[in-house]
Chain A
Amino acid sequence: MRWTLWIVLGLFPLVDGHPTLKTNQNSLETADAALNHQSGSLNSVLHLDDTEKAALEPTRVDPAFPMKELNTSHYPATRAARVAQHYLNYHHGSPSKWFMVHDIKKASSEDIPEVGTKYHIQFSVQEQATKEIVGNCTAEILFRQTEEQSAPEVNCTCDDLLKIKTSDADHALYLHIKHQPEPVAGTDIPDSQGNIPKEMEPFWYLGGIGASFIMWQQSNESTLYNMVHVHSVKQLNSENDLLAFDYVVLLHDMVSQEIIHWHMQVAWNPTQGVKVTQCNLLPKDTMKQPSAEKHKI
């Protein structure tokens, strides 16, 4: 009997854990639930249930009506929504207000013979400075079938867009810039490490809003643009009440992975909003690349 006790005591340290599986709060439970449902089998496999399979259907085409329901996480919907974002930013953005698509709720497309494809998107956007979410945006985006690039035609409205109140911040910034002794200038925003000095943030936003015009104009069904770098910003002389800036911005097209350099001039005041007064594409090679950490150790 004593030996029995020794054996049990001796083998005890070899056994770790306890027979009941600890479950965490996170969604490991989903995986574990799937595993545990297979009665004791070690070869448990995750399966999609019928609802999940239905949600994954890419398109449902009703032959009586050409509208095609789109999967909101597939790229046709995300690309169209991005165009709406660029449009929204150009028409409503400012140095204090910059929107990103937050969530796509519903998407559909229709092929219009000899015209192009029109997308209908319901989505929400998040404003980057305030982090506020504007829930109800709808947009129609028409990509025309043309040989050369032509800007997609966009109709976009959001309920509650006006709840994002930035006019005070915009006016304060406007006056601050007007009263500076030296014209504003900056390079490499963000820097290599992603840093943006606080005082340059509005000019980063303004560059983004101006770039939104270019990105909207340059978009088609095979592009997905973001502004990834402000190479330079320089305030220009202006005689009227608009502030004017000269920018070189770097756009990233996710589909081709190319970095495209654009030169643009942007005019802004709080009441008239942002206008791109001129812009031109810069050749890839003649442009100085975004600088790396040459001066820092």
Chain B
Amino acid sequence: MYWNIRSTCILIVLFPLLQSSKVRYDGVQDWLESQTYQHNYQQRTLKDYDYTKYHKVDEISRWMNLVTEQYKDVVTQHVLGMTYENQTINYLKIGEKSGKPKKVIWMDCGIHAREWISPAFCQWFVKELLENYKTDEKISRFFQNMDFYVVPLLNMDGYNYTWTENRLWRKSRSPSPVSNCSCFGTDLNRNFDASWNSIGASQNCCSEIFCGSKAESESEVKAVVDLVGRIKNDILCFLTIHSYGQLILMPYGHPNKTAPNHDEHLKLGQNAANAIKQKHGTSYRVGPPSQILYPNSGSSRDWARDIGIEFSYTFELRDNGTYGFELPADQIQPTCEEAMAGVNTIVEYVHNKHFGSAAAATVALWSTVLASYLSLLVLVQ
């Protein structure tokens, strides 16, 4: 029995060393070197990607493939659904791989076609996570405990239309559901089943806030609803990115609805706005749209809260109306840096609320170590 404990202890000692990435095995050196060469080649291609420029639909799709290949240890790409024009909407699932279901942070970008800074931010956000998860303690913990589901470009049809025909297009590109109306497109952010068509939306198919013939009439919306609905119990926070206005919006758009955790939502949003301001001095206002912007209904943020996701925010990025939707590319970096600070505040809070802070985790681990040591000591004696 003494010998068994000894061999067990040997295994315990050696196990973490075996897991370390610094271990090299004889006989696979050549294979490793060839992998490194390919890795570096792909890294050069992804390294060439300019995050301070606006990118077209196909460039974003190519970038998603590159990211998935380059960071295959932590990234997988999946189909979310289809657009009206039959484009495949993809999302990235980012985090340490695990056999069991993990908690989720959801982020979608580009739901409104003309808000170009939005998909630019999703790309920036992914880049920041992936370039830092090995060295940044916080991100490393996030990757262990959670998966980030990122949809870099939801309204692909509309976004493509802003590159080819009309820079200020907002809606989807589905044709009108009514025969006597020749306009195209439904406002995807009025099409969710959240007090749908009650206020701040229009049944005129030519309106920019046309909410569709019924809730979830748009395939892009259905795609989000299907996946988010399936994993809603695992989603800690739902983030949807827009521009412009410099706002952090929380539920609800409807003036008669207040979220049960309204105060906590507001305080967290204000903390995020403070983090944003610290970065480059940019002021963001925080609150429900029914108070700080305009009453509305059918938004993805409100729908997410309705189905039970505890925290749900819309970010309206820069600016305040100087350039509006046509934000100069030289503002991509500062806008993304400050938005990152805001998002990070929220992600860290919801993570720590669920998993405990790093300090608490460390204390828990040391306690486990001590307890194991003491019990082994007792056994060995």
> Bound complex: CA of A17 vs CA of B92, how far in Å?
29
* Contact indicator A73/B328 (Cβ below 8 Å): no
User: A228-B325, A254-B245 are contacts. A42–B167 as well, Cβ < 8 Å?
Assistant: no
* Contact indicator B278/A15 (Cβ below 8 Å): no
List the A residue with the shortest CB-CB distance to B365. Answer: A15
User: A13-B17, A13-B20, A35-B352 are contacts. A289–B168 as well, Cβ < 8 Å?
Assistant: yes
| Minimum distance in angstroms from B268 CB to a CB of chain A | 5
The one of B13, B167, B369 in contact with A192, judged by C-beta atoms closer than 8 angstroms, is B167
**Chain A CB within 8 A of B359 CB:** yes
> Bound complex: CA of A196 vs CA of B324, how far in Å?
14
Q: Which residues of the other chain, B, contact A4 by a CB distance below 8 angstroms?
A: 373, 376-377, 380
List the B residue with the shortest CB-CB distance to A18. Answer: B362
* Contact indicator A255/B369 (Cβ below 8 Å): no
| Minimum distance in angstroms from A47 CB to a CB of chain B | 6
**Chain A CB within 8 A of B372 CB:** yes
User: A6-B9, A194-B327, A228-B325 are contacts. A256–B275 as well, Cβ < 8 Å?
Assistant: no
- Chain A residues numbered 42-90 whose CB sits less than 8 Å from any CB in chain B: 42-48, 52-53, 56, 58, 71, 73-75, 78
* Contact indicator A48/B361 (Cβ below 8 Å): no
> Which of B28-36, B63-71, B219-227, B291-299 has 4 or more CB atoms under 8 Å from chain A?
B291-299
- Chain A residues numbered 201-250 whose CB sits less than 8 Å from any CB in chain B: 226, 228-229, 250
| Minimum distance in angstroms from B115 CB to a CB of chain A | 11
> Which of B146-154, B230-238, B341-349 has 4 or more CB atoms under 8 Å from chain A?
B341-349
* Contact indicator B322/A128 (Cβ below 8 Å): yes
| Minimum distance in angstroms from A81 CB to a CB of chain B | 12
> Bound complex: CA of A45 vs CA of B350, how far in Å?
10
Per-position 1/0 for B331-360, Cβ under 8 A of A: 100000000010001001100110111111
List the A residue with the shortest CB-CB distance to B265. Answer: A46
The one of A21, A74, A258 in contact with B292, judged by C-beta atoms closer than 8 angstroms, is A74
User: A11-B12, A226-B321 are contacts. A48–B263 as well, Cβ < 8 Å?
Assistant: yes
**Chain A CB within 8 A of B128 CB:** no
List the B residue with the shortest CB-CB distance to A103. Answer: B283
* Contact indicator A48/B266 (Cβ below 8 Å): yes
* Contact indicator A3/B331 (Cβ below 8 Å): no
> Bound complex: CA of A17 vs CA of B170, how far in Å?
46
* Contact indicator A15/B287 (Cβ below 8 Å): no
| Minimum distance in angstroms from B262 CB to a CB of chain A | 9
Q: Size band of the B side of the interface?
A: 35 or more
> Which of B37-45, B72-80, B157-165 has 4 or more CB atoms under 8 Å from chain A?
B157-165
Residue of B137, B283, B321 with most partner-chain A CB within 10 A: B321
> Bound complex: CA of A39 vs CA of B263, how far in Å?
21
> Which of A25-33, A135-143, A264-272, A273-281 has 4 or more CB atoms under 8 Å from chain B?
A25-33
Q: Which residues of the other chain, A, contact B268 by a CB distance below 8 angstroms?
A: 31, 46
User: A190-B323, A259-B168 are contacts. A26–B341 as well, Cβ < 8 Å?
Assistant: yes
Q: Which residues of the other chain, A, contact B207 by a CB distance below 8 angstroms?
A: 256, 258
User: A190-B326, A195-B328, A228-B168 are contacts. A46–B271 as well, Cβ < 8 Å?
Assistant: yes
* Contact indicator B292/A75 (Cβ below 8 Å): yes
Q: Which residues of the other chain, A, contact B372 by a CB distance below 8 angstroms?
A: 7, 11
Q: Which residues of the other chain, B, contact A7 by a CB distance below 8 angstroms?
A: 9, 12-13, 372-373, 376
- Chain B residues numbered 110-137 whose CB sits less than 8 Å from any CB in chain A: 137
* Contact indicator A19/B363 (Cβ below 8 Å): yes
17 new A-B contacts, CB < 8 A, other than A10-B12, A11-B369, A100-B320, are A3-B9, A3-B376, A10-B9, A10-B14, A15-B366, A31-B268, A46-B263, A47-B267, A53-B263, A74-B287, A75-B293, A193-B328, A228-B323, A252-B168, A254-B245, A254-B294, A257-B187
Interface residues of A (CB under 8 A from B): 3-4, 6-21, 25-28, 30-32, 34-35, 40, 42-48, 52-53, 56, 58, 71, 73-75, 78, 100-101, 103, 128, 190-196, 226, 228-229, 250, 252, 254-259, 284, 289-294
Nearest 6 interchain pairs by C-beta: A10-B13, A194-B328, A226-B321, A27-B274, A289-B166, A46-B267
Q: What are 11 A-B pairs at a CB distance below 8 A? A: A11-B372, A13-B16, A13-B17, A28-B271, A46-B349, A56-B266, A75-B291, A128-B322, A228-B325, A284-B206, A290-B166
